[in-house]
């Protein structure tokens, strides 16, 4: 499967998911069957937020997605290593950085950037400090006093920042991308509707 086919399957899966939501039925993955092997068509770097489980929102079954979840869908060495492993081992052609509306990690980072407070935990700080550089310039944007607007743009900027960091994340990833074997795209999940918007 190439990255275009994988992208199409994710889009169709999310469409099924939102249709199930509208019908009020519980979204159930189609393929709840044990898999002896994994052959993931996509790698998802998503947020840990309890409302955004990748397999459900893309309506995929066991073995279909290689999922890395971390608050704020940040890129740190362990995320890059996980992606290198999946891309090299399974030949997975697509990485999706999946951010989402109402992201707590983004809100916490914005709070810290707009006040003098710092995180009490160095571990939490390691997440905030990876998000901050990608969104700090938004504070100078007209309209940034409006918290909802600022958060909206910050979520998107953070997704794009992670995409950029992965594209230049390592020699292995650069080689796979350069040879056309791997494509990295950004996408935003909307908590309000269940829809995923893929960035171009």
Write out the residues near Zn ion by the rule CB under 5 A.
Answer: 47, 49, 103, 105
C-alpha angle with apex 109: 106 to 113, nearest 5 degrees? Answer: 135
Distance CA 57, CA 110 (A): 27
Q: Is 73 left (phi over 0), alpha (psi -120 to 50) or beta?
A: left
Helix, strand, or coil (residue 49):
coil
- When the beta carbons of 95 and 105 are compared against Zn ion, the nearer one is 105
Q: How far is the CB of 2 from Zn ion (least distance, A)?
A: 29
Q: How far is the CB of 74 from Zn ion (least distance, A)?
A: 10
Q: How far is the CB of 128 from Zn ion (least distance, A)?
A: 12
- When the beta carbons of 32 and 50 are compared against Zn ion, the nearer one is 50
Q: Which helix (H) or strand (E) holds 108?
A: helix 104-114
CB atoms closer than 10 angstroms to residue 43? 27
Q: How far is the CB of 55 from Zn ion (least distance, A)?
A: 17
- When the beta carbons of 79 and 92 are compared against Zn ion, the nearer one is 79
Give 96's strand partners: 44, 185
Q: How far is the CB of 69 from Zn ion (least distance, A)?
A: 9
- When the beta carbons of 47 and 87 are compared against Zn ion, the nearer one is 47
- When the beta carbons of 45 and 105 are compared against Zn ion, the nearer one is 105
Distance CA 127, CA 70 (A): 9
């Amino acid at each position: 499967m190439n990255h275009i086919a994988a992208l199409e399957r994710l889009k169709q899966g999310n469409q099924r998911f939102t249709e199930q939501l509208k019908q009020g039925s519980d979204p159930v993955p189609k393929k709840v069957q044990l898999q002896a092997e994994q052959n993931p068509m996509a790698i998802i770097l998503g947020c840990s937020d309890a409302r955004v489980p990748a397999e459900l929102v893309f309506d995929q079954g066991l073995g279909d997605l290689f999922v890395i979840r971390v608050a704020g869908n940040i890129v740190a060495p362990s995320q890059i290593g996980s992606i290198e492993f999946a891309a090299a081992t399974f030949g997975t052609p697509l990485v999706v950085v999946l951010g989402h509306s109402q992201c707590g990690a983004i809100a916490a980072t914005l709070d810290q950037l707009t006040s003098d407070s710092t995180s009490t935990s160095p571990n939490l700080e390691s997440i905030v400090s990876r998000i901050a550089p990608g969104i700090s310039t938004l504070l100078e944007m007209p309209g940034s006093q409006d918290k909802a607007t600022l958060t909206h743009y910050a979520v998107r900027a953070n997704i794009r920042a992670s995409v950029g960091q992965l594209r230049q994340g390592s020699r292995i990833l650069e080689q796979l991308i350069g040879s056309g074997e791997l494509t990295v795209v950004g996408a935003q999940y909307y908590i309000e509707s269940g829809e995923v918007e893929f960035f171009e």
